[in-house]
Amino acid sequence: MLALAMACVPVTLLAQDESSPLPRFASLDSREINLRAGPGTDYPILWVYQRKGLPVEIVREFENWRRIRDRDGTLGWVQQNLLSGKRTAVTVGETKAMRREPDEAAPPIAYLEPGVIAKIRECRGDDWCRIEVQGYSGWITRDGLWGVRDGEVINAD
């Protein structure tokens, strides 16, 4: 079996328009993004993200700035053009099996360590999401992902 670590680079899934209600998930669309204390370049930089594709939750909007929260709960402001509506998730908790079918008895395709960024391809109304990581596509329970809400349905691409 293949064990995948944090070096995954996410690509595309599904764009959300700016009229989607808050909070909503998005992903970082650049390899380096400054998280600021307020909505403007005059505010101090709190953190620099260096993982393109990392999922974040948009919790507030002000002009072309978005207040985001990451999986650790860190809050700050980023420019809207540095975010993408492409849905990704990051694996959380312990190492999880990505399975061939949405069934705990299905054979594993890969084992995903915490911190792996995955493209979300589909989430059903149950506990299963189909994801893609480094060319591997399979199913994982949503409790192993941060970047998708309980019961959220994401249609297949």
Domain that holds residue 104: 2-6+89-146
Q: Is residue 35 part of a domain?
A: yes
Strand partners, 139: 99, 130
Please indicate, yes or no, if residue 65 is contained in any of the structural domains: yes
From the number of C-beta atoms within 10 Å of its C-beta (0-12, 13-18, 19+), residue 10 rates as: buried
Report residue 77 as tokens. 């402001």
How confident is the model over 29-51, as pLDDT tens digits? 999 999 999 999 999 999 999 99
More confident residue, 94 or 12: 94
Residue where one domain finishes, among candidates 84, 110, 130: 84
Q: Show the tokens assigned to 104.
A: 């705990």
Q: Region 95-114: what's the mean pLDDT?
A: 97
**How much is the pLDDT for 138?**
98
Domain of 40, CATH number, reads 2.30.30.40
Grade residue 20 by pLDDT with cuts at 50, 70 and 90: confident
Mean pLDDT of all residues belonging to the chain:
90
Beta strands in the chain (DSSP E): 2-4, 24-28, 33-36, 45-49, 55-62, 65-69, 75-79, 83-84, 88-91, 96-99, 108-112, 117-123, 128-133, 136-141, 145-146
Residue 18 has pLDDT above 80, yes or no: no
Question: 60-93: per-residue pLDDT in tens?
Answer: 999 999 999 999 999 999 999 999 999 999 999 9
